Amino acid sequence: MQDTTLLQLIESDLEPAGQLLELLRAEAVALCGRDMALLENILARKQSLIVQLQQHGLQRSQALSLLGMSPDREGLESLAKISGIGDELLAKSELLNELLNQCKAVNEENGRAIAQQQHATANQLRILNGGEPPSLYTATGTKSKLGTYRAFSQA
């Protein structure tokens, strides 16, 4: 009975995982276009899907533990060996893992895009604010002969 419950939990996560993947892809496009309104909408939808996937993941782990199996891939494989629906359990689990790995890859790409945009924004702000103020002393300890510090907006 627990094996069918586990299969249902895995199957019920396939759709949210697919939706999360599509949202992450849409997020990549919104990041490139810097569409903040769309990004806020995506973030809200992403968070609800992630919470749902986490809850089901905990339920799957608990179901495996109740059967005396370890709550990981090895436990699922052990259950599959003794279950009548073992092949289907493994196939659906593999499909879910593949979707989640794709989500992870797209999310990492989005993270790199965000970091790159943050770096570009920091550079632009540094230019507008005039950069770092000149050092008062040189590396040898003598007084610097640099001009006065002036921000770009003051020049």
User: Is 140 a member of any domain?
Assistant: no
User: Is 139 a member of any domain?
Assistant: no
User: Is 152 a member of any domain?
Assistant: no
Other beta carbons within 10 Å of 133? 11
Closest listed residue to residue 27, CA positions, set 10, 11, 50? 50
User: Is 155 a member of any domain?
Assistant: no
User: Is 49 a member of any domain?
Assistant: yes
Q: How confident is the model at residue 151 (pLDDT cuts 50, 70, 90)?
A: low
- Give this prediction's pTM: 0.76
Backbone φ, ψ for residue 86 (5° rounding): -60, -45
2-33 and 73-82 helices cross at what angle (nearest 10)?
140
d(CA 13, CA 76): 16
User: Is 138 a member of any domain?
Assistant: no
- Domain residues for the domain of 91 are 2-131
Q: Domain containing 116 — which CATH number? A: 1.20.58.300
Q: Are 49 and 20 in contact (CB under 8 A)?
A: yes
- pLDDT, tens digit (0-9, with 9 covering 90-100), for 78-133: 888 988 898 999 999 999 999 999 999 999 999 999 999 899 888 888 888 876 66
In total, how many domains does the chain have?
1
Backbone φ, ψ for residue 137 (5° rounding): -130, 150
- pLDDT, tens digit (0-9, with 9 covering 90-100), for 3-31: 888 899 999 999 999 999 999 999 999 99
Bridge partners (DSSP) listed for residue 143:
137
d(CA 124, CA 130): 10
**Three-state DSSP class for residue 130:** coil
